[in-house]
Structure 1
Amino acid sequence: MPPKSASAIMLTFLGDHVLGRDVCVYSGSVIDVLARAGVSAEATRSTLTRMTGRGLLRRQRHGRRMHFGLTPLSTRILTDGSARLWRTGAVNDDWDGTWTLLAFSLPGERQRERHDLRAALAWAGFGSVQGGLWIAPGHPDIGPLAGAHIRVFHARADASTDVTEMIAGAYDLAALAARYTGFRSHWAPFDADAADPLAAKLHLVTDWLQIIRRDPRLPVRHLPPSWPAAAAQELFFRLNGALAPAAASIAAGLLETVPSGDDGDRPAAAADQLDA
């Protein structure tokens, strides 16, 4: 599996233990939890600072201790990730046949902008059919891509179009399949009974999220036979189910939380003078 960043593990932690609870978590207990997953205290502190600067976390003092809570932006990102994990899944077996078509045109001298737009399109689940025409199954979120140089349409393929061939030409299916087979190769031998449940669950969910967030959810009926996503997803659900109860119990014993918005008994101006 590709290496995981401290921020990726942090997001998994927040999604598992903070999302939906309306609490802020003491920074020291965040350090304790992520340390079990191999993240150093320095890396955790740096990640908390960076995520706060990016509007993904907010600080809240309680006495002399600094706590961190979610923001509307991080709540939206984590909610989207939760939907991909537990509702949408990795296997698109109920596609209704609709496509989102996106066309763009940028002058040749705007190469950097063209490169960035192509990267954003690929991240959003689009594949290049030809020239400036890109496609994605269903109705992906194109809000972040909107601009004067972009035109978006929704359509269905004509009967004369070989959809399987079109998908194979627009997407790197070998690379996508390799991520799922790599996940299975890494996690299939895993012994849940011999591992630290909290650390293992943080790594498991982070690995899985890194795959499915890059998966355009192509219609399975137009993918090669024995597409590996279903088997990988079954493995993920099985291991997560085995690890979840013990991981939640361990986290509950480590995490110190306060209600969101509660700054303790001190006035905010005085609290800001205290050490973290």
Structure 2
Amino acid sequence: MAAPDLKPVSTRSALLTLLLGAEVPRLSTRELVAAASVVGFAEPTVRVALSRMTAAGDVVRDDEGGYRLSERLVVRQRRQEEAAHPTLRDDWDGAWDLLAVTTAGRTASERAELRTTLTELRLAELREGLWTRPANLGIDWPDAVTEVCERFTGAAPVAAPVALAARLWDLDGWAATARTLLAATATDDPVLRFTACATSGRHLLTDPVLPPSLLPADWPGDALRASHVAYKQWVVDMRRTMVG
């Protein structure tokens, strides 16, 4: 199988991938250097990157020389974990959530922030100020949404929900990228496999996690989640072995 064409990750992205996927809140410099070396990053490059990441507020360095994620990136870590293990409702009956933005007079930055929040919750904009998705996820609606939106749950907003899902989300494009990432995890190249893991973590954040009845055939979402989780565990085991 030919190696897929994936954009190499930076040293910063590699280190963040290691920290985001770690099973502990803190990694030592030794652990980060050892793990990064397996996927092609030299120790001097890693140390320079850690210094820059500390200065930029990506990571926090402790008195013992270890590193943990900043609070901002802890939120991202939580989102990635939820993306790998989405909370699905077993009793989905075909209902959709519909959110209408009802608060006027918001600033442009406030509107942009709300759009980002709704997109991260895997909703899509049906038309301006009206967002929707199938009600098959256990969503904990944040105050930033409930304070400015009215939410309704009921029948699909159109008679053809499969066509609506295909219009609201680029399902074919998402699936094509997911298959590229899955192919990369099947190679023997450790750098390519790590690149696929780092990229798949971000790609899973954009999976709409729709009910199977609304998805194209052979949807690769579950396969990509399983591959991502398995590779993250391999990285954890590898790191423990190298420093143990």
Do Structure 1 and Structure 2 share a fold, with TM-score over 0.5?
A: yes
Identify unmatched segments of 5+ residues in structure 2. Answer: 1-5
SS of residue paired to 1:101? strand
Q: Is the 8 A contact 2:97 2:151 kept in 1?
A: yes
Note closer, same or farther for the CA distance 1:49–1:222 as it changes in structure 2 (3 Å cut): same
Q: CA deviation at 1:159?
A: 9.2
Q: C-alpha distance in 1, partners of 2:108/2:240?
A: 50
Off by >6 Å, runs of 4+ in structure 1 = 106-109
User: Counterparts in 2 of 1:244-259, with a 5 A limit?
Assistant: 244=234, 247-248=235-236, 250-255=238-243
Q: Is the 8 A contact 1:26 1:68 kept in 2?
A: yes
Note closer, same or farther for the CA distance 1:60–1:216 as it changes in structure 2 (3 Å cut): same
User: Counterparts in 2 of 1:118-267, with a 5 A limit?
Assistant: 118-137=115-134, 138-143=137-142, 145-146=144-145, 148=147, 150-157=148-155, 161-188=159-186, 190-191=187-188, 195-196=189-190, 202-233=194-225, 236=227, 240=231, 244=234, 247-248=235-236, 250-255=238-243
Note closer, same or farther for the CA distance 1:115–1:71 as it changes in structure 2 (3 Å cut): closer
The structure 2 residue matched to 1:101, chosen from 98, 103, 118, is 98
Q: C-alpha distance in 2, partners of 1:210/1:139?
A: 21
Q: RCO greater where, 1 or 2, for CA within 8 Å and sep 6 or more? A: 1
Cα offsets for 1:232-257 (capped at 9, x unmatched): 456x269739x82xx4454125449x
Note closer, same or farther for the CA distance 1:46–1:33 as it changes in structure 2 (3 Å cut): farther
Q: Is the 8 A contact 1:129 1:169 kept in 2?
A: no
Once the two structures are overlaid, the 10-residue window that deviates more, 29-38 or 208-217, is 29-38
The structure 2 residue matched to 1:9, chosen from 14, 30, 38, is 14
Q: C-alpha distance in 1, partners of 2:96/2:163?
A: 15
Q: CA deviation at 1:126?
A: 1.2
Cα offsets for 1:128-160 (capped at 9, x unmatched): 112210113334344274375x21314121597
Q: Is the 8 A contact 2:31 2:239 kept in 1?
A: no
Q: Is the 8 A contact 1:100 1:135 kept in 2?
A: yes
**C-alpha RMSD over aligned residues:** 3.8
* Pairs aligned (count): 232
Cα offsets for 1:187-221 (capped at 9, x unmatched): 34x02xxx44xx66643432221111111211121
Once the two structures are overlaid, the 10-residue window that deviates more, 152-161 or 103-112, is 103-112
SS of residue paired to 1:45? helix
SS of residue paired to 2:66? strand
Q: C-alpha distance in 2, partners of 1:169/1:229?
A: 18
Note closer, same or farther for the CA distance 1:248–1:237 as it changes in structure 2 (3 Å cut): closer
Q: Is the 8 A contact 2:80 2:202 kept in 1?
A: no
The structure 1 residue matched to 2:35, chosen from 17, 33, 38, is 33
SS of residue paired to 1:61? coil
2:123 counterpart letter in structure 1: F
Q: C-alpha distance in 2, partners of 1:222/1:117?
A: 26
Q: C-alpha distance in 1, partners of 2:146/2:155?
A: 25
- TM-score of the aligned structures, taking structure 1 as reference length: 0.65
- TM-score of the aligned structures, taking structure 2 as reference length: 0.71
